[in-house]
Chain A
Amino acid sequence: MHILLAEDDTETARFIAEGLTALGHKVTQVATGPLALQAASDATFDAVILDRMLPGLDGLEVLRDLRAIPNRVPVLVLTALGGIADRVDGLDAGADDYLVKPFAFVELAARLNALARRVPGPEQATRIEVGEIALDLLRREVTRCGKPVHLQPREFALLEQLMRHAGRVVTRTMFLERVWGFHFDPQTNIVESHLSRLRTKLREGFGGDDPIETIRGSGYRMRADA
């Protein structure tokens, strides 16, 4: 992927750029708001990482200008402002995702993957199929090899997230945000307790084959060939 990184703190920029390059991405770095706007308008990127506090032009201003062009490139806003109102401002300005500093690199990588490969369309799809598992969003039904699997509402929502991002990592905080709408981290790992039930239900009667993998220190991934 070709990623535009707009970050003025050299230490953070280096940390992100090195990590992304190691994952095989191509990274273009800028350090000011006007340069970020120019770069994003001139070239085509798969995703933009935009710091909220950029010199010259505030990150949110860059984002608004970009959306006004209009340019629909997926944008992930990075910020040191973790307040509730700050997050709403960021999403209102047209951010696709919002990550509060400090963050773990795996979290950034997972979110970037989820953003950049989001193909327009499947959000509206009413049926998702990954390997032998099918999920019907309208009838709220899940089948594996054509046999029904009975899931609780939250197990269903977790599976939906995994299947939408099949082959990619979904982190704990991504689950908390998208299934529960929580932007904080409870001490109790409620994601884990629901996922283990989901995995048991998906395995039972299907030969014990687990379509979901745990990625240590990072999150969970649905095997694309499950």
Chain B
Amino acid sequence: MRRAKASAAYRIAFTYSTAFTLAILLLGIAIYIAADAQFRRQQDAALVDEATALAHEFNEGDLPEIRRAIARREGGNTINVYGYAMFDRNGHRVGGGLNARKPPAGLQDIVFVDPVEGADRARAYATDLTGGFRLVVARDSESMDGIDRTIVLIFGGAFVLVIGLSVIGALLLGGYLQRRLDGISGVARAIMAGDMAQRVPISQRRDEFDAVGSALNTMLDRIGQLMDNLRQVSSDVAHDLRTPLLRLRNQLEQVGRVEGAAERAIEQGDAVLALFAALLRIAEVEGGALARGFVVTDLTLLVTEIAESYAPAFADGGRTLCWSIAPGIKVLGDRELIAQALINLLDNALLHTPARTQVTVSLGGDAHAATVSVADTGPGVPPGDHARILNRFARGEASRTTPGNGLGLSLVAAVTAAHGGTVAVTDNAPGLRVTLRLPRVSAA
């Protein structure tokens, strides 16, 4: 019961049924008042009609006439519910069996003496006749009270039934809500206990609970992916840092014994720092907080600038860099991040291709997206590795010995995702083509 008290499900169910019961109660009271008033109005109208009919008979004849009329009514075979009395101007009852004092004219409640029950209440109508006589027609209040009692009885019974039903309904509804929620919190507890594979059961009804459940399941899937990713990255970092640190240690050991060892150690230290800088940059970009600083960036200008800046470096290495850049293409983004992504692609093209390779930078776009691609005619990447090379520390077998930390394309992927775009790695036949699609800003 304590659990039921603290339960929102039960609270909602009971609040609902209490409100429902109160509404029924109010409805009952209103019906009672309306019905009672209506019955009394009808009774009053009947009293007036009866008195008027009798008065009519008196006007046609005289006192004995009306006495007979009254006696006829009182002693008739038909069950008569009315009592009658005739008073003269001195207040003496001169006709009728209704034992009461002379009332004032009009509708009123009177007290009369019932031959069986003694003093009793009645509803009466008194009207003046010619000759100073006053005719009184009355009806015992007992009948009206009986009607009222019946109404109250019927309604009271119904009300008790309603209370009973709504308590049962509230218990059932509360229990149902509780059970559905228990399913969800049970899964949450199991996950807290370490069982990440648990998922909220989804019923066939596709109701709100199922909607919440499937949203939670999607969230759990995403968290699971992120945790896997984090685990992977942590172990990669640990593994990939060991190698350069080991190298650094060996170079430091040679300092003072081998010429140039100190310089090489510093270079190795710089390489480790660069690795950290790259990891932090990827984390920053993937963190997603950068989007607030995004501005409209002229991609045409930026890609041209970078292509021109890289052309001499390509020429120095015996390669050619060509570019084909569409005018007036703008995106919402961070100039430097996009530059870094494109530069990483160009760095890769320089590092992983032989001399005389031709590299092409293109910028194009349709109504919705800008497309930046870097394509080379080098040895390419086996198709099976196309998706993998975007991962952190992924390095093709062929590039194990060349410089680099396997983070360049990860940053490209992170930057593109931060801009709401996609990266595609395809075969350039021969060579490799990496294409970035970024949502475009309409030329304004």
A interface residues with partner B (beta carbon < 8 Å): 82-85, 88, 102, 104, 152-154, 180-190, 192-194, 196-197, 217
B-side interface mostly: helix
Q: In the assembly, what is the distance between CA of A183 and CA of B289, in Å?
A: 18
Instruction: Name the one of B274, B290, B339 contacting A185, with C-beta atoms under 8 angstroms.
Output: B274
A83 contacts across to B, CB distance below 8 A: 284
Beta-carbon contact of A188 and B403 below 8 Å? no
Instruction: Name the one of B277, B343, B350, B351 contacting A82, with C-beta atoms under 8 angstroms.
Output: B277
Given A85-B289, A88-B293, A185-B274, also A180-B284 (CB < 8 A): no
Beta-carbon contact of A84 and B277 below 8 Å? no
B358 sits at the interface (CB 8 A): no
Beta-carbon contact of A188 and B310 below 8 Å? yes
B67 sits at the interface (CB 8 A): no
Instruction: Name the one of B263, B273, B335, B344 contacting A181, with C-beta atoms under 8 angstroms.
Output: B335
A192 contacts across to B, CB distance below 8 A: 313
Q: In the assembly, what is the distance between CA of A197 and CA of B293, in Å?
A: 36
B424 sits at the interface (CB 8 A): no
Beta-carbon contact of B350 and A188 below 8 Å? yes
Q: In the assembly, what is the distance between CA of A197 and CA of B309, in Å?
A: 12
Instruction: Name the one of B281, B290, B313, B344 contacting A190, with C-beta atoms under 8 angstroms.
Output: B313
User: C-beta contact mask, B335-351 vs A, less than 8 Å → 1, else 0?
Assistant: 11101100110110011
Instruction: Name the one of A84, A104, A152, A185 contacting B334, with C-beta atoms under 8 angstroms.
Output: A84
Beta-carbon contact of A184 and B340 below 8 Å? yes
CB closest residue in chain B, given A152: B308
User: C-beta contact mask, B373-411 vs A, less than 8 Å → 1, else 0?
Assistant: 000000000000000000000000000000110001000
Beta-carbon contact of B312 and A85 below 8 Å? no
B316 sits at the interface (CB 8 A): yes
Most buried by B among A84, A88, A185: A84
Instruction: Name the one of B284, B308, B313 contacting A189, with C-beta atoms under 8 angstroms.
Output: B313
Q: In the assembly, what is the distance between CA of A184 and CA of B282, in Å?
A: 13
A194 contacts across to B, CB distance below 8 A: 309, 312
11 cross-chain CB contacts under 8 A: A82-B277, A104-B270, A152-B308, A154-B309, A184-B336, A186-B347, A187-B404, A193-B313, A194-B309, A196-B312, A217-B263
CB proximity of A198 to chain B, nearest CB, Å:
10
Q: In the assembly, what is the distance between CA of A185 and CA of B347, in Å?
A: 11
B273 contacts across to A, CB distance below 8 A: 102
Q: In the assembly, what is the distance between CA of A125 and CA of B284, in Å?
A: 39
B270 contacts across to A, CB distance below 8 A: 104
B347 contacts across to A, CB distance below 8 A: 186-188
B339 contacts across to A, CB distance below 8 A: 180, 182
Given A181-B336, A193-B313, also A186-B308 (CB < 8 A): no
B280 sits at the interface (CB 8 A): yes
Given A84-B293, A84-B334, A85-B289, also A184-B281 (CB < 8 A): yes
Beta-carbon contact of A186 and B343 below 8 Å? yes
Q: In the assembly, what is the distance between CA of A184 and CA of B278, in Å?
A: 10
Q: In the assembly, what is the distance between CA of A88 and CA of B351, in Å?
A: 32
Beta-carbon contact of A84 and B284 below 8 Å? yes
* Beyond A154-B308, A193-B312, 7 extra complex contacts between A and B, CB < 8 Å: A84-B284, A85-B289, A180-B305, A181-B335, A182-B340, A184-B277, A184-B340
Beta-carbon contact of A85 and B290 below 8 Å? yes
Q: In the assembly, what is the distance between CA of A88 and CA of B281, in Å?
A: 16
Beta-carbon contact of A187 and B351 below 8 Å? yes
The 10 closest A-B pairs by CB, nearest first: A193-B312, A193-B313, A187-B347, A186-B343, A188-B313, A190-B309, A188-B347, A193-B316, A83-B284, A184-B340
CB closest residue in chain A, given B289: A85
Instruction: Name the one of B277, B293, B315, B403 contacting A187, with C-beta atoms under 8 angstroms.
Output: B403
A181 contacts across to B, CB distance below 8 A: 335-336
Q: In the assembly, what is the distance between CA of A153 and CA of B309, in Å?
A: 10
Beta-carbon contact of B290 and A180 below 8 Å? no
Q: In the assembly, what is the distance between CA of A82 and CA of B316, in Å?
A: 32
Q: In the assembly, what is the distance between CA of A102 and CA of B272, in Å?
A: 11
CB proximity of B218 to chain A, nearest CB, Å:
30
In residues 284-303 of chain B, which contact A (Cβ within 8 Å)? 284, 289-290, 293
B277 contacts across to A, CB distance below 8 A: 82, 184
B316 contacts across to A, CB distance below 8 A: 193, 196
A82 contacts across to B, CB distance below 8 A: 277, 280-281
B305 contacts across to A, CB distance below 8 A: 180
B290 contacts across to A, CB distance below 8 A: 84-85
